[in-house]
Amino acid sequence: MRTPPPPEDPNVLTREFPTFTWPAQQPLSRVHRVEHDTAYFATGQDGRFNPPPPEAGFGTLYLSSHPRGAFVETLGRFRYISQAMINERVLAEVYMPSDLRLADLTNPQVLGKFGISNDLSMGNEDDAYALAQQWALRLWQAGFSGLYYGARRDVELQSRSVALFGKPGDEGESGVLSTLHPLSEVAAEMADHYGFVIVTGLPL
């Protein structure tokens, strides 16, 4: 069964959609390029839970519940990872200014109540992103801080992903705090865990 479009009335989601609370004192993780800010809320069509066109009332910041999840969601599409790719990225330890009220796509109730299955967060069909972006818009309209869902590339199913809604772009107003660490500090251990190979000389 494929996930249907969201209900037209966001109030239905406000009342009935399962909620997961992420506590402010518990860090989230993100891997990004050194030259970019951690708190960037994207609006392009290349993000699964970004706003659908022409909606730009919010942007989306992608985070993980665990450093390994952030690593594999960012670089997991490569079997061979160049040292240059690692050197150009950092691992951010991210803290929220307050608890997050997230729409919980991992709660089994979403299947029976809304017909949501894992294709919404992991599907690869041509229109998969368009459907996911419709759901992101409606859940943002319903007042959620973001979405809590399974990490697509974490085959161990131990990491969760968070798609956090915020003001589009990076205006420095989100209140998100982060501590940055060179990705090179943990890349070897993570690559070994997932069976990736780190090499030199590959193009970015």
Would the pLDDT of 142 be above 90? yes
Give the pLDDT confidence of 186-200 residue by residue, as tens digits. 999 998 988 888 888
Average pLDDT for 60-73: 94
Task: Give the per-residue pLDDT at 158.
Answer: 77
Task: Give the per-residue pLDDT at 160.
Answer: 95
Task: Give the per-residue pLDDT at 173.
Answer: 61
Give the pLDDT confidence of 5-26 residue by residue, as tens digits. 999 999 999 999 999 999 999 9
The more confidently predicted of residues 171 and 90 is 90
**Three-state secondary structure readout of the chain:** CCCCCCCCCHHHHHHHCCEEEECCCCCEEEEEECCCCCCCEECCCCCCCCCCCCCCCCEEEEEECCHHHHHHHHHCCCCEEEHHHHHCEEEEEEECCCCEEEEECCCCHHHHHHCCCCHHHHCCCCCHHHHHHHHHHHHHHCCCCEEEEECCCCCCCCCEEEEEEECCECCCCCCCEEEEEEHHHCHHHHHHHHCCEEECCCCC
Give the pLDDT confidence of 86-125 residue by residue, as tens digits. 999 999 999 999 999 999 999 999 999 999 999 999 887 7
The rounded percent of the chain whose pLDDT value lies above 70 is 96
Would the pLDDT of 166 be above 90? yes
